[in-house]
Amino acid sequence: MSNAPAVTEGTALPAEPSAPRRFLRMLWADKFALAALLFLLLVVLMALLGPALLGDVAQKQNLRGRNAPPFEWARGWLWWMGADSLGRPLLARIIVAARNTVAIAAGAVLASALVGTTLGLVAGYASRRVGEAIMRLADVIMSFPSLLLAVIVLYVLGPSVTNVVLVLAITRIPVYLRTTRAEVLEIRERMFVSAARVMGASPRRIVLRHILPVVLPTLTTLATLDFAYVMLAESALSFLGIGIQPPDITWGLMIAQGKEHLTRAWWLSFWPGLAIILTTLSLNLLSNWMRIALDPTQRWRLEMRGRPDA
Amino acid sequence: MLGRTMTWGALLLATSLTPAWAQDDTAVTIVLNEEVDVLEPCMATRSNIGRVILGNVNETLTELDVRGDGGLMPRLAESWEQREDGSWRFNLRQGVTFSDGTAFDAQDVKHSFDRVFDPTITCESARYFGGMTVTANVVDDHTIDFVVDPVQPILPLLLSLVTIVPAETPIEFVRDPVGTGPYAVTEWSPGQQIVLTRRDGYWGAAPAVTQATYVVRTDPAVRAAMVEAGEADIAPTISQDDATNPATDFPYLNSETVYLRLDASQAPVSDIRVRRAINMAIDREAFIGTLVPQDALLATAIYPPTTQGWNPDVPVPAYDPEGAKALLEEARADGVAVDTPITILARTANFPNVTEVMEAIQQMMQEAGFTVELQMVEVAEHEVYYSKPYPTDRGAYIIAAMHDNRMGDPSFSAYFKYHSEGRQSGISDPKADDLITRASAATGEERAQLWSELQAYVHDEVAADVLLFHMVGFARVAESIDWTPTIATNSQLQLSEIGFRN
Amino acid sequence: MLTFIRKRSLASLVSLVGLVVLVFFLSRLTGDPTDLYLPLDATDEMRARFREIYGLDDPLLVQFGRYVGDLLRLDFGDSIRKARPAIEVVLEAFVWTLQLALVTMALVTVAAIVVGSLAAFRVGGFFDRVSGILSLVAASAPDFWIAIVAIVVFAVGLGWLPTSGTGTPWHWVLPIAVLFIRPFGLIVQVVRGSMISALSSPYVKTARAKGLRPRKIIFVHALRNAMLPVITVIGDQAASLLNGAVVIETIFGFPGVGKLMIDSILQRDFTVVLASIMVTALAIFLMNLLIDLAYATLDPRIRH
Amino acid sequence: MPDHLLEVRDLSVEFHTAGGVVKAVRGVSWHVDRGETLAILGESGSGKSVSTAAILDLIDMPPGRITSGEILFDGRDLLRLGAAARRDINGRRIAMIFQDPLSHLNPVYPVGWQIVETMTAHGLPGARARAEALRLVTRVGLPDPAGALRKYPHEFSGGQRQRLMIAMALAMKPDVLIADEPTTALDVTVQAEVLLLLKELQQETGMGVVIITHDLGVVAEIADRVVVMNAGEIVESGPAREVYHDPRHPYTRKLIGAAPGKGEMHPPLARAEPVLSVRNVRKAYGTFTALDGVSLDLMPGETLAVVGESGSGKSTLARVLLRLDEPDSGEALWKGRDLFRLSPAELFALRRDLQMVFQDPTQSLNPRMTVAQLISEAWAIHPRILPRDRWRARVAELLAQVGLRPEHANRYPHQFSGGQRQRIAIARALALEPELIICDEAVSALDVSVQAQVIDLLDRLRREMGIAFIFIAHDLPVVRDFADHVMVMQRGRVVEHGTVRQVFDSPREPYTRALLAAGLDPDPDVQAARRAALRTERRAAGA
């Protein structure tokens, strides 16, 4: 884009809209991302309020009404997705399960991002030897079979939301570690880091004040994607029977339980599957949008679309 | 390896549009639910192995008639008798050859027994002979004596569990079992398939099936689909949900009994009122036809009704949540800590709908006033709670389990589940111990009588556990195949019983 | 190049040793295989005998020492379950996984490159939008769910394909198709992003100024440069396939190393777990070397 | 009106940017004839490359949009032709070379392949194309032409790469060659050679050449006519000599006035005790020797210019002196203490005294920090300089001192122009109240008019605050008006060191003389005279 004009010397600085307004405008420009964000907000809302509002309904069994088919309006809106094999309304269960699903994914992503980024910063900026040692550690974690890890944690610590978070977090650490380290290795050679060194800035200051903020957008995008990945991983664990155990519920577990009835009552695993697809799809869409919105050289694509004259 | 890839590519290129899984009409394909790890005859009592080789490749001296009322029938033995000193003499069938061509005689029988008890390998059949010493004495080529200490009244039944191998078989696990059965293993590609082919020279009538191919699919929906799609002829276990076609899908009592084991040494279930309350709190009827197949039976014993000495007069506990509450209150008044949180521990994938069943039981108990949590655990952890020594540091728990007794005699269950020394026993009751000891040593009518007494006692007087259902399994059988499942289908599938329609 | 390979091998060896130690000791935390192998009503005598045969009654460190000693003689120990050498069991399964991974990755690579490149050429165009949404949906769906639905639809409902298993080429279609979906969705995204930046690079401007056709600009000039980040992702995806596609292998009854691994873990067949870890680690190491070679082939600047 | 070879009429192009729609060029018209060289002169952001990009269909739409105008070539309006027809013209009839040939050549293909491709794409058979490629590479003067064809772009030097670009552009003997800043990143001596080559080739083929440049010297050397652009419009056009000698538009006048190297040179400084004395510094990166025994003395308040072409080791010298890189041997006494042997704590204390201004302010300012944060970071690191409550006031003061508005303190670097950013970087260096500032190519990324302003600023700081400067540059004219002493470096060694007058008026070393001679004078007449002198010299040498 070298033929796009730069700001010339002496001209007044262009007035820029405030950051929130600008992001709202860019969001408006990408309707997919907007829809994705709205859907994610809905999921978060479900996770926050669902158990309090519908916790009892979602647990109330009715063996006579098991596997009730969807779209039967007579039973009330909670039943329009049908009922599961214990006659519990699927819609209510999906709403209630949102909390564990989101909590596991968020917990795992936050924990792995925090640990991975910290280790990555150290590996990237510390001496070669420390860096190499950390990378070997990452290799070991990467090749440690996650299923074995899940079984170990499940066996030693027992199945619980926290422990599933632990398993998923450990397996995802290398992703952040490697990304951060690679970025740090590149950024530490940049001139503004040299400038900070010339001023006498300590390594700690350079890493936290100069390098971390530059890595952060990449990590945010990565974390968004990873959120989707972790949700899928959690459901796969549930499928194999080594994840969350009932009566705790997550969407993944609902699919796993419903698959036994797939030929006769497809809705049991269809709706939670759809919930996962929509959520991960939204996260993917949002992260694609973020990749553009956070990149000053790509941003015009969104800003242009939002204007009527384009 | 490379060759396989190349063939694969070549086949793909050939793009013959005819599906290549068609087969000739006297061969059958059977789709099993569990991987076959080893094909070792002395492991044939393990159901996944037994279904392939038991009665097909390797035979036993006796066998239990599961299709009729014949009771214990001769197979490789022609007759047997108990002698004065309590030992058993078996007269062996003559003119029998192994698939490797060698003749069958008493030495083979003796070797088969020695192999089972050899300390350098772990043969599963040995478990039925716990606490006994068995000595096999060859009398002549076709006569053999078994001296058992202590005297074992049901030895002929136990012998239906010991597969006979040639005397040349090494004392290590074999991968190419040799037996006297009508079939021989002709191909085994681990993870893919096992092929049995009918052999000439079998001593009995030649079966209709000439070749049987066994494949394994762990997903029940896939197994059902394979029969429907014509890829397989028999799927011995499919799920209840898939069993929708009466023409092909057959339910069968599968000798498994689901129950909740209570540990009477643990508060609050140490109080009999609490144990009774749990029994009353569960609406067993509600499960039938919903989460548990329509054909399942409510259990009053830990073994199925086909077992000797099964007592028809023991009633199913009535569903009475109010009564349960009252009993709980009564216990509370006496200072029993009825509010102690109790954890139900159940094994994932133990039987179809196990999670839902347990969730329902949890709710029913809660409605009766219990504080109940549910924890689904993996098999290894389940085992920690299920067998002695029981963990003492994990609070009050009830363990949900499934017990299999297809042998027709309660002795395969009673000692383990109700004797104070039994590995999975929750009670320590002198009267029960006495009944078990006496019944195990008795024969005939007396034996049946004692077992009946024990069943009534532990169920009605002790309320030792919460018996739930005798489960049914479902088999899907292609319409061209003439075969119905039996109570033994889980552990044995004799190809000679399969016929063809039309 | 040789020093590079040597350095790489050494680093991998260090990781592998760490991994084996970690797996050996951590896996023993998950209980005694005796209880799982023997029936519930097995006698104490049988249990004791079993422990003795497999050396389970020795202290853990003694067991480890024995294992390492055997390992140095390339003896990976026997599988408890299958009563034969663990390495045999693993290699048998690994061949299947390898074939599945190779075929799938080959298809994914070709398809993702074509689709991603075309999407990048007209950013925001119709093809870009459609392929974008489709690839995102593909990357977002739980694979076991798709697998089961695919069986119900294509094998049972329509009867076009066998439900599962191995045997004919037709048996490969469904597992590969399901396995294809997620890496395809991911790699399309990467190809697209990488192609967008390659297409906006100065040398593409030169190519346009030279009057080259778009096809040539995309597939000759931009693509080779855009392949570098793509190869990394392909490597990652291939590595995870080499680790075994547990879920797919389980559903389709595919005797691969992923299914072997989960079965062995659940059965506490530790020798098989360790052997499969070592075999897959070696395979992944070799594949990473291949990836590095591919890098060097594609980009002359890296050859030095 | 007679037909021209190529004519742009009333062209307007706009771009969508983060700041809104920018009209990159407005109503631009120019033409070029056969055998003629037209220069489009302008600073960054003037829109000087936009019209040529439109000619070759290189404007991405979106974000660009051509709103009006026509481009006439061969009697046809290019803007109305289909994509296939334009591809047929690109590379065959109109060819282009670019600034920064490294990134404009495809890094993963051999250069020979790329040259051949131009010809095969336009229908030449492969064998003929390969023979022609060899001829072209020989013609543009590369050593070992046959071997060169098999090599990759990164294996050549900057000048060689530009020669390869030229060979590729001329492969189809185009009627028009467009050269976009073809010599900007090159060393002066290489620049002269490349321009000479272009001129010779033009004489051989009779093509029209459009050269886009910001450099008056390039215009003076090569152009017949010039159009001057500012802010998307043509402000002046005419024969190059006329425009230089008689500029009409104020902007043109300002541009010509800003050309460096015309002011008074500094008088020699009085001898004094050096504040920094460097002895025999060596530094090697692998097998490459960057510094090969460099020594220098710097007096308080002195400005020492270090001049050299790429690879001379001048930037390494700066990095080593500031301990950004560790030297292999040698010493550097700062007020009697050896900088190279300080402990981390001592070095930290000394950081205050020695500061640096980097070449590219876009990269040396952390994009995620505001101006106030950037400047006050110095005090966060060295808390004893200034208490926190006085930071705001001091930032405002410093901004005023470097000529920026104090109210811009809360903005981010990307909101400023290049020159303004360099002022921020200078303010940041000043925050620590240093005694020596090392400027590493501090003005070479800036436009000429901005260069002059920044140099003025530095000169003022020197006078007012007595700060010493080590001023590193690749360009001799830039340091002429500013330096007290000049040190010329080549391949890691100091080849000449003297007062500014000595070096400029009576250079002793042939290398210094070659550097001075290769520099282009903005006056077309001076350049014409030099060329004439060179020709005579060559003829004499040839005779």
Q: For residue range A54-111, what is the model confidence (pLDDT) as tens digits?
A: 777 777 777 677 777 777 766 677 777 777 777 788 888 888 888 888 899 999 999 9
Say if residue A307's pLDDT is above 70.
Answer: no
- Listed in sequence order, the residues at least 6 apart from B51 whose beta carbon sits closer than 8 Å to its beta carbon are B32, B236, B489, B490, B491, B492, B493
DSSP letter at D484 equals S
Contact C193 A291 (CB under 8 A): yes
DSSP letter at B351 equals S
Amino acid letter, residue B471: M
Question: Please, what is the average pLDDT of chain A?
Answer: 79
| CB-closest option in D17, D378, D380 to A300 | D17
Q: Quick one: CA torsion of D139, D140, D146, D148, rounded to 10 degrees?
A: 180
Per CB-CB distance under 8 Å, the chain C contacts of A259 are: 144-145, 148
C229 lies within 8 A of chain D by CB: no
**Helix (H), strand (E) at residue C88:** helix C86-121
The maximal CA–CA distance of chain A, rounded, in angstroms, is 80
Contact C141 A240 (CB under 8 A): no
**Band of the pLDDT at C56, cuts 50, 70, 90?**
confident
Chains contacting D (3+ CB pairs below 8 angstroms): A, C
Helix, strand counts (H, E) of chain C:
14, 0
- What does the pLDDT read at residue B58? 93
CA distance to partner chain C, nearest, from residue B246 (Å): 18
Identify the closest residue of chain A to C141 by CA–CA distance.
A277
Beta-bridge partner residues of B185: B196
- What does the pLDDT read at residue B16? 36
A136 lies within 8 A of chain B by CB: no
Please check whether residue D331 is in contact with residue D278, taking contact to mean a CB–CB distance below 8 angstroms.
yes
Mean pLDDT to the nearest integer, B268-284: 92
Helix, strand counts (H, E) of chain B:
13, 19
Identify the closest residue of chain D to C300 by CA–CA distance.
D108
CA distance to partner chain B, nearest, from residue A139 (Å): 29
Tally Cβ neighbours within 10 Å of residue C9.
Answer: 12
Top pLDDT among A122 and C81 is at: A122
Which of B222, B348, B350, B354 to probe the A interface (max A CBs under 10 A)? B348
- Listed in sequence order, the residues at least 6 apart from C303 whose beta carbon sits closer than 8 Å to its beta carbon are C296
Amino acid letter, residue C193: G
How many angstroms separate the CA atoms of B2 and B11, rounded?
A: 14
**Helix (H), strand (E) at residue B436:** helix B430-441
| CB-closest option in C46, C95, C163 to B231 | C163
Complex ipTM: 0.76
Cα angle value D289/D294/D297 (rounded, 5°): 160
CA distance to partner chain D, nearest, from residue A142 (Å): 32
CA distance to partner chain D, nearest, from residue C186 (Å): 25
Helices (H), chain A: 19-29, 31-59, 90-125, 128-143, 146-157, 161-187, 191-199, 203-205, 212-240, 251-258, 267-293, 300-305
Helices (H), C122-256: 126-140, 143-150, 170-199, 202-209, 214-216, 223-242, 246-251
What single string gives the DSSP state of each residue in D420-442? HHHHHHHHHHHHT--SEEEEEST
Mean pLDDT to the nearest integer, A198-202: 87
Question: Which of A239-243, B442-446, D209-213, D215-219 reaches the highest mean pLDDT?
Answer: D209-213
**Band of the pLDDT at B449, cuts 50, 70, 90?**
very high
pLDDT, one tens digit per residue, over C62-75 is: 888 888 888 888 88
DSSP letter at D296 equals E
Question: How many residues would you count in chain B?
Answer: 502
- What does the pLDDT read at residue A308? 41
Please check whether residue D160 is in contact with residue D142, taking contact to mean a CB–CB distance below 8 angstroms.
yes
The two structure tokens encoding residue B113: 């027994």
Hey, is C206 helix, strand or coil? helix
C303 lies within 8 A of chain D by CB: no
C155 lies within 8 A of chain B by CB: yes
How many angstroms separate the CA atoms of B440 and B451, rounded?
A: 9
Q: How many CA atoms lie within 13 A of D103 on its CB side?
A: 11
CA distance to partner chain D, nearest, from residue A137 (Å): 30
B187: region left, alpha or beta (phi > 0 left; psi from -120 to 50 alpha): beta
Domains of chain C: 2-72 (no CATH), 87-303 (1.10.3720.10)
C209 lies within 8 A of chain D by CB: yes
- What does the pLDDT read at residue A82? 77
Query: How many angstroms from the chain centroid is the CA of residue A242?
Result: 21
Amino acid letter, residue D225: R
A144 lies within 8 A of chain C by CB: yes
B73: region left, alpha or beta (phi > 0 left; psi from -120 to 50 alpha): beta
- Listed in sequence order, the residues at least 6 apart from D529 whose beta carbon sits closer than 8 Å to its beta carbon are none
- Report the candidate in A202, A200, A189, A203 with the shortest Cα–Cα distance to residue D434: A200
Amino acid letter, residue B151: V
Per CB-CB distance under 8 Å, the chain A contacts of D46 are: 8
Residue where the block lists tokens 């564990």 = A100
| CB-closest option in D91, D108, D117 to C209 | D91
Mean pLDDT to the nearest integer, A272-277: 86
Question: How many residues would you count in chain C?
Answer: 304
- Listed in sequence order, the residues at least 6 apart from A285 whose beta carbon sits closer than 8 Å to its beta carbon are A32, A33, A35, A36, C136
Hey, is C125 helix, strand or coil? coil
B187 lies within 8 A of chain C by CB: no
Helices (H), D432-520: 448-465, 476-480, 500-505, 510-518
| B234-238 vs B396-404, strand pairing mode | unpaired
Identify the closest residue of chain B to C95 by CA–CA distance.
B1
Of A182-196, A295-309, D236-250, the poorest mean pLDDT is in A295-309
Question: Please, what is the average pLDDT of chain B?
Answer: 87
How many angstroms separate the CA atoms of A198 and B168, rounded?
A: 85
Hey, is B14 helix, strand or coil? helix
- Listed in sequence order, the residues at least 6 apart from D30 whose beta carbon sits closer than 8 Å to its beta carbon are D7, D8, D38, D40, D51, D227, D234, D237
Identify the closest residue of chain D to C297 by CA–CA distance.
D108
Q: How distant, in Å, are the alpha carbons of A176, C154, D73 from that of D89?
A: 49, 53, 10
How many angstroms separate the CA atoms of D233 and B268, rounded?
A: 93
3-state secondary structure A77-93: HHHCCCECCCCCEHHHH
Chains contacting C (3+ CB pairs below 8 angstroms): A, B, D
pLDDT in tens, chain D (543 residues): 457 889 999 999 988 765 667 788 888 999 999 989 999 998 877 888 888 888 888 887 667 888 888 888 888 888 888 888 888 888 889 999 988 888 889 988 999 999 999 999 898 898 999 999 999 999 888 888 899 999 999 888 888 898 899 999 888 889 999 999 888 878 888 888 888 888 988 998 889 999 999 888 888 888 999 999 988 889 999 998 888 888 899 989 888 888 777 777 888 877 788 889 999 999 988 888 888 989 999 988 889 999 988 888 888 999 899 888 889 999 999 888 898 888 888 888 888 888 888 888 888 888 888 899 999 998 998 888 888 888 889 999 899 888 888 888 888 887 788 888 888 999 999 898 899 999 988 887 778 878 888 888 888 888 888 889 999 988 788 888 888 999 999 988 999 998 888 888 888 888 888 888 888 888 888 888 888 887 787 777 765
Contact A159 B355 (CB under 8 A): no
pLDDT, one tens digit per residue, over B25-62 is: 789 999 998 888 888 898 888 888 889 999 999 999 99
- Report the candidate in B213, B214, B199 with the shortest Cα–Cα distance to residue B59: B199
Per CB-CB distance under 8 Å, the chain A contacts of C27 are: 148, 152
Render the burial of A123-155: b for 16+ CB within 10 Å, e for the rest: bbbeeeeebeebbbbbbbbbbbbbbbbbbbbbb
Please check whether residue A187 is in contact with residue A215, taking contact to mean a CB–CB distance below 8 angstroms.
yes
- What does the pLDDT read at residue C92? 87
How many angstroms separate the CA atoms of A177 and A112, rounded?
A: 9
Identify the closest residue of chain C to B231 by CA–CA distance.
C162
Say if residue A14's pLDDT is above 70.
Answer: no
Hey, is B318 helix, strand or coil? coil
DSSP letter at B60 equals B
**Percent of chain C with pLDDT strictly greater than 70:** 97
Contact B375 A64 (CB under 8 A): no
Contact B378 A85 (CB under 8 A): no
Which of C44, C46, C100 to probe the B interface (max B CBs under 10 A)? C46
- What does the pLDDT read at residue B372? 92
Domains of chain D: 101-171 (no CATH), 276-525 (3.40.50.300)
Q: How distant, in Å, are the alpha carbons of A44, A136, A143 from that of A140?
A: 35, 6, 5
CA distance to partner chain B, nearest, from residue A180 (Å): 37
| CB-closest option in A148, A232, A273 to C23 | A148
